[in-house]
Amino acid sequence: MFKNYLSNPDTYKSLEEHIVNKFTHLANTKKIETSSFSLPFYNTKFSDGTSFMDANPIFSVKNMKTGDIFKAILDEEIDKPFIAKKKTQSLDRSFQ
């Protein structure tokens, strides 16, 4: 469905929209208030508005209440998905 997302700007935009729609649908299903999220969180466009089109990240969101950030990166050289979790000083409550 999105096989040529790295070479076709229309496909890339469709993939971005697809992921945002899936996130919003999942949040609504779980009764999570989406107004507390900043989406996208990371800038993925050049100053002229052209997308980086590198899928790093393809999707990002920040929960403005908790400070938690989720970033999805697509990498053609990784065979299976994985999740990496990183705590930063500003998010780790033990530093306060």
What mean pLDDT comes out for the span 8-29? 94
The pTM of this model reads 0.78
Confidence of residue 87 (pLDDT cuts 50, 70, 90): low
Q: pLDDT, tens digit, for every residue of 32-86?
A: 888 999 999 999 999 999 999 999 999 999 999 989 999 999 988 887 777 777 6
Contact between 72 and 57 (Cβ < 8 Å): yes
Cis peptide before 57 (omega within 30 of 0): yes
Confidence of residue 11 (pLDDT cuts 50, 70, 90): very high
Between CA 18 and CA 46 the distance in angstroms is: 21
